[in-house]
Amino acid sequence: MPPRRPRTFAFGVRLAQSGGLVGLGLGVAGILAVASIAAALALRGDPLVNQVPSLACQALAWGAGITVAFGAARRAASRDRDEGFFALARCRGVTPYAYVEARVVGLAALVAVAVGGGTALAGAAAALSSPSAGVFRATGGALAYALVFSATISPVAFASLAAGSTVTGYLALASLLVLPELASPWTSALLPAGWHELTSVPAALDAIRTGAGWHAARALAGLTALAAASLAILMGRTSSEPDP
């Protein structure tokens, strides 16, 4: 049997769970999930129930998911180095790249559980309340939104927040997520007609949720590029860390 590489998934998930803000985010996710279930049950027979999974996934993503990502990624690089987590991993064969991968995948998994889990519960409640093709379609789109949100926000949060101060990290994250959305009325004019999904992360995620053919494909490509650029920044930073 060929020798195995170090296993880092559990390590990444364990590190993603540390910090008060992460706990707060998970708590908010629980509250929002319960509220979504209650709303779905209250809207039994009402056509508005179709909207519950979509609204739930957006509230979970931008309320709970972003809090979890912010809490886990804030000054993560210096914390890992100072507290000995980086040395623990490196001394047991984890390469700098595998370390970045562990941190990013661990956070993405945690955000996916918080956002995707709550969305799945909301969708299930809506389907139980008023089973229809519209509800199933909305739930599928909402789950795709949750998963892509998790995969995108994790590397972006680490690239923005892991190094440097909390304030500069927050500003960097806001400039990536909020400013493009605010500027989208103007930036969309610069793009070919109908390419609005490339103006901001929220717009791209909406295109994936609605699952509209080329729009979703372009949105996915844009988010993949953003995640890849964030990973490249992280890899560059981590590879320059001295070996403990």
Provide, rounded to whole angstroms, the least separation between the CB of residue 65 and another protein. 24
Query: 47 or 244: whose CB is closer to another protein?
Result: 244
Retrieve residue 64's tokens: 């709970």
Query: 211 or 244: whose CB is closer to another protein?
Result: 244
Whose structure tokens read 């890849």? 228
Q: Quick check: 229 and 210 in contact, CB under 8 A?
A: no
Binding site for another protein (CB under 8 A): 2-8, 10-11, 14, 18, 83-85, 87-95, 98, 243-244
Report the distance separating Cα 143 and Cα 60, nearest Å: 11
Query: 109 or 223: whose CB is closer to another protein?
Result: 109
Query: 8 or 36: whose CB is closer to another protein?
Result: 8
Provide, rounded to whole angstroms, the least separation between the CB of residue 62 and another protein. 29
Provide, rounded to whole angstroms, the least separation between the CB of residue 243 and another protein. 5
Provide, rounded to whole angstroms, the least separation between the CB of residue 78 and another protein. 14
